Structure 1
C-alpha cells in the first residue's frame, strides 16, 4: 500500500481541537500581558504616592508633636492655643494611615489611633504628666512588593477564569454539541439513504458494513471477509484486476454483478483509503449502492446506439465496435456488403412498412442460409438497405451461396417478394481496421451496381487504384477550370446530299499536366458526385464565346451543338444562364443546339419538359443524342419539342451486318422522317455506310469517315466569309 501521509482522514475530537486550543492559549497570554502592562505601572505609581503621602504626614505629625511639647513647656502661659494645636494633631493623625500614640510619663496611653483612645480633658495638670509622642506606620514597607505581586497574580487569575468561563468552556461545549450533531446526522442519513456504508481493514476485509445482505450473504456474515470471498459476485473485470486496483489506487470504483436466486443485480461501491495520524494505511472506507436500474438503462442506450432498431442486428456503430480489428487468432476473413434491390420502389409504391418488412425478411433469410457457409461472425445492418456479414469462407464459396440466394422468395408481411441484391466483397486482415475495409466494400459494391443486379464483385488492388485515381481527378476539376486546362474541339456534321459541313458538335477535352483526358474518363465521375453543373456552365460560356469570335472575324458560323446533362436541364438557374450568356455575346439562339445526353422516365420528366419548352421558345434547337439506347422511346419524341435525332453509332455499325439489323436501322430513320425531324447518323466510318444511310433518307452523317474532332483553329478553316447574300438570307429566315 502506498504511503500517502498527506491523505489522512479528518476526525472529530471528543474535546477541543488543537487549533482551538492554540487560539485560546494565545488569547489568554495576550490578556495576561495586557493586565501586567496596565496594572503594574498603576500599582507602582500608587505605592510611590503612598510613600510620599506617608512621609509628608509623618513629617507634619512630628512637627506638631514637637510643637505640643513646646506648648506643654509653656502651658501655663497659653493653654487654649495648646488645645487647638493638640486637636489639629489629632485630626491629622486620624486622617492619615499613620499609627500614633501618646503616653504619660508613667506609661499610660492617653491617645492611640488604633485603640480608639482619645485625649482626656485637657487641663494644665494633664500636661505635667504628658510623655513623648510616638509615631509608627501601619504598613510594613517590605511587604509592599509582595502585596503588589499578589494583586497582579490575582488579577491574572481572575482574567484567566473570565476567559475560561466566556471562551474555552463554551467552545468545548459547542464542540461536544457539534460532535453529537455529526453523529446524529450520519445516523439519520444512513437510515434513510439507499446507499450503504462500509469499511475494510488493512487486509481488505470488511470491518464495518450497513448493507443488509450481498447476494445470499447477510450483513453479520460479511464481517471478516473480502469481496472475493463472497459467493454470487462477478465483477465487470477480473478479481485479479480488483486486487491490483486496491493495492495501487488512491480511489476505488468497482461494479460487480450479484446473482441471487433467479434475479441478477448490479452494485457499485466507491471508496478511498484512510490513514492514522502517523500516515500509516488503515484500510478503505466508502459507500455502495444498487445500480441495477441504471445498468438496465445503460444497456438500453447501448442497444439504441449499437443495434439497428428495425432488424435487431448491429448497426454501423455496433459493427465498428464489435469488429474494430480482428482478434489475434484470426489471420483474415471476408467482409461482404449487400445492397438490397427494390427497397426504394417498395417504399414509394407500398409504403415504408412493406419496405422495412422486406429488409427484415432478407436479414432473417441470410441468417438462416449462411449458417452452413463457413463461420459467419455476425450479420449487421449498417443502415439504409444494406446488410453486411463477416465469414472465413472463400470468395468462391460466398459467390455460390449468394447466387443460390438470388431471386429466392421471402415473406414480407402478406407479400411474397423476390430477394435481389448486389454485393461487394473485401478482404479483412489483421493490419486493417473495419472502416477501411468497409470503404473497400463500398467501392466493390459500386462496381457491382454498375454491372447490374445480382453482381458480386471482389475488391482488388486495381479497383482501389482506380478509386484513388478518380478521387484525385475530382480534386483537380475546379483547379483545371481556373487554370484553363479544359478546351473545346469540334467534330463537323456533313450533309449527305451536298457532302459539305453543315454544323458541328462541340466536345470537351482536359489537358491535365501531360495527359489528355477524354470526357469518357471524367464525365461519369462528375455525374456521380453531381458536379456536372460547373462543367456545363463552362461549355456554354466557351461555345458562345467561340461563336462571337467567328462573327467578329467576318466568318459565317455553323450551328454548334453542346451536350447538357439531365441535372443541368433540371436546373432553372442554368437555363437562365444559357439564355443570358447567348444574349451577352450577341449570339443568336438558332446557332446553338442542345443535345440531351440522358433521359429520365416520362413520369419524372415534367420539370425538364418545362425547361426544354422554354429553350425551344427562345430559339434554341433541341436534339436527342444516342437515340436507340437508354430511355429513348416514342412517347419521348411526341412529348418533347425535338428538332434533331442522332442515331447511336451502335445501330450504324451493326445495321449492315444482317437483313434484320438493316431493317431495324431503316425503321429508326423512317421514325425520324415521320416525326418531321432531322436525322444524323453517328459513327460513320466507311463510304458504304455513307451511301446506304443516304439511300435510307438520312440527312446528316458524323464520324471519322469525314473528320475526327479538330481544334477551333482547324475548324475555322471550314468556315466561309459572310457575304451580303448570307446576311439577306439569314434576315429572311429570322423574319
Structure 2
C-alpha cells in the first residue's frame, strides 16, 4: 500500500462505494471520489466529519446524511487498521437513500390510501384499538363516525371515474382540515370514510362535529376539468363504551347507525342509540335557536334581591339570565352548558353584563338609592377572554359605577389555574369592582390559595343551606365557612334561603346577607323595580 499509493488511489476512485480512512479523532486521512460524492462535500482530507467509529472491532450501522441536496441515508462499515504507523479506521460508505425512500413509500402505502393519502382500514383499526385501551385506562369516551357520500355513484356514472376520484380527494382534504389534529380520519374504500374522535366530553357533543362535517362536505366543489359537483353525506355514530368495547364492535355499530341514517333520508347523522340521536338533535336545535336569541330579543335579565340579615334592608341583587323561546321559558340548566361548550357564552355573558349595568344606571338616574348588582362570569369568560378589558369597556359605555358592580366567579374556575386567576382578579379589582366566589364549599379551594385571592365576598352554596336546621353537618359546614370569611375579612352571602329557621341560624352565626325564596324569587325588571322601590322608601 505504501509502495503504490497513487495506483491504489486510482483503483479506489473507480468503485461506487465511498472509502474513507480516518484517525482516532475522526480526521480524514484519505477519501476516494465516491465518498466525496456521497457526502456532497469538497476535499475531505484533513477535515473532521464526526463519523461514529467502532472502537477495536468491526462495526456496521446506518447513519443520516445532511447534504446540500437534502437528507439522505448511508450504510457505514468501520474496521480498525494501521495506516502508515498510525492507529486509524477504514470506513466503507454505501448510499442507501433511494432504498430507504422506497421502503418509506412502501410503508406509507401499506397503511394509507394511495388516492387521498388518508390512513387506511389497517392503520385505523390499529389506532382505534390503541385509543380504546387508553380510554379504558383513563375512563373516558371516544366516538367512531362512519360516513359515506350520498349518491356518489351518480357522479361516477355521469362524469366518469376521474371526476369521481377528484371528488374523493376534495372530500378527504375537507375532512382533514375540519377536524382536530388529534382526531383520526380514514378512507375505508370507495366513498366510505370514518373518523375517530378521542376524549369527548359527552356523547351528545359528537353531534356538533357530525353536523359540521355534513355542512362542509355539502358545499359545492369543482373537479380538475372544471366540472362542478355537490354531494351530501350520511354519518353513523358509535360511542365507546356505550355502544361497544372493541374496535370491531364500534365499527359494526357505527355502520349500522349509518345504514339507518341513509334509510331516514340521507344527509344526516344517526347514533347507534335512538335515544341518543333524539337527545343530540334536540341539543343541536337548542344551540341553533340560542345563536339567534339575542337578535330576537328572547333573552331577559331577572334580578333576585339580596338583604342585609341584621337590618332587613335591601342591599343588592343578583342578575340571572332567562331565555323565553316561543312563549316557553327554557331552564338555564338546559342552555347554559351548551352556551359554555360552543363559546356562545362569550357574547351572551357580555350581553348580560351590559344589560345589568344599563339597568343599574337607569335606576341611579331615576334617583333611587345605590344598589350593588352581581353578575356571574362563566369559567370560559374568566379564563379564555380579555375579561378585564371587556368589563372596563362596558362600565365606560354604560356609566355604571364600578364600585356598584360585583362579579361572581365559580370556585372551580379560579382553582383550575390559581396563579393566572390571581392576576386576572387583580386586574378586575383595579377597575374598582368587587369579586365574589360563588357556590363556595362545593369545589376544592385550598385555604392557602384562598387567602391570596383578592376577594370581597364568599357566597355559601344553597346545598348547605337547604337542610338547615335538620342536618347538623350542613350547620357546621355553614358555620365554618362564615368563620373563614370573618378571618379573611370577607363579606358572606347565603344563597337559597327558604325558611325563617334557616335565616335565624344564619343570623346567629353572623352571616351578612341572604337571598332566596323566603324573600323573593328572581323577578323580571318591572316586578323587581316595584319591590325595590317598596324597600327603598
Report the TM-score when normalising by structure 2.
0.54
| Structure 1 pair 607–715 and aligned structure 2 pair: CA distance change class (3 A) | same
| Structure 1 pair 719–464 and aligned structure 2 pair: CA distance change class (3 A) | same
SS in 2 for 1:465: helix
Partner of 2:504: 691
The answer as to 2:457 corresponding to 1:654 is no
Question: Given that residues 113 and 119 in structure 2 are in contact (C-alpha distance below 8 angstroms), is that contact kept between their aligned partners in structure 1?
Answer: no
SS in 2 for 1:596: strand
Partner of 1:321: 188
1:440-480, Cα deviation, whole Å (9 max, x unpaired): 79898xxxxxxxxxxxxxxxx33322221221121122321
Structure 2 CA distance for aligned equivalents of residues 442 and 430 of structure 1: 11
1:110-144, Cα deviation, whole Å (9 max, x unpaired): xxxxxxxxxxxxxxxxxxxxxxxxxxxxxxxxxxx
Q: 1:478 aligns with which of 291, 297, 302?
A: 291
Question: Given that residues 256 and 272 in structure 2 are in contact (C-alpha distance below 8 angstroms), is that contact kept between their aligned partners in structure 1?
Answer: no
Q: How many residues align structurally?
A: 334
The answer as to 2:382 corresponding to 1:569 is yes
Partner of 1:615: 428
| Structure 1 pair 512–429 and aligned structure 2 pair: CA distance change class (3 A) | closer
Q: What is the CA distance between 1:494 and its match in structure 2?
A: 1.2
Structure 2 CA distance for aligned equivalents of residues 660 and 499 of structure 1: 27
Structure 2 CA distance for aligned equivalents of residues 435 and 684 of structure 1: 50
Report matched runs for 1:486-525 at 5 Å.
486-525=299-338
Q: What is the CA distance between 1:501 and its match in structure 2?
A: 1.5
Structure 1 CA distance for aligned equivalents of residues 522 and 125 of structure 2: 55
Partner of 2:482: 669
Gaps of 5+ in 1: 1-290, 326-336, 343-379, 396-424, 445-460, 724-735
Moved more, 709-718 or 688-697: 709-718
Partner of 1:548: 361
SS in 2 for 1:639: coil
Gaps of 5+ in 2: 1-105, 130-181, 201-237
Question: Given that residues 643 and 678 in structure 1 are in contact (C-alpha distance below 8 angstroms), is that contact kept between their aligned partners in structure 2?
Answer: yes
Asked which structure has the greater CA Rg, the reply is 1
| Structure 1 pair 475–299 and aligned structure 2 pair: CA distance change class (3 A) | closer
SS in 1 for 2:454: coil
Structure 1 CA distance for aligned equivalents of residues 424 and 111 of structure 2: 58
| Structure 1 pair 665–297 and aligned structure 2 pair: CA distance change class (3 A) | closer
| Structure 1 pair 390–609 and aligned structure 2 pair: CA distance change class (3 A) | same
Cα RMSD (Å): 4.4
Question: Given that residues 434 and 456 in structure 2 are in contact (C-alpha distance below 8 angstroms), is that contact kept between their aligned partners in structure 1?
Answer: yes
If each structure's helix is expressed as a fraction of its own residues, which one has the higher value?
1
**Greater RCO, CA 8 A, separation 6+:** 2
1:671-730, Cα deviation, whole Å (9 max, x unpaired): 11111111111111111111011111111111101101111122223445999xxxxxxx
1:383-431, Cα deviation, whole Å (9 max, x unpaired): xxx9853449x99xxxxxxxxxxxxxxxxxxxxxxxxxxxxx9964854
Partner of 2:247: 389
Q: What is the CA distance between 1:601 and its match in structure 2?
A: 6.5
Q: 1:700 aligns with which of 505, 510, 513?
A: 513
| Structure 1 pair 721–612 and aligned structure 2 pair: CA distance change class (3 A) | same
Q: 1:464 aligns with which of 273, 277, 281?
A: 277
| Structure 1 pair 300–585 and aligned structure 2 pair: CA distance change class (3 A) | closer
Structure 2 CA distance for aligned equivalents of residues 596 and 540 of structure 1: 14
Q: 2:406 aligns with which of 573, 581, 593?
A: 593
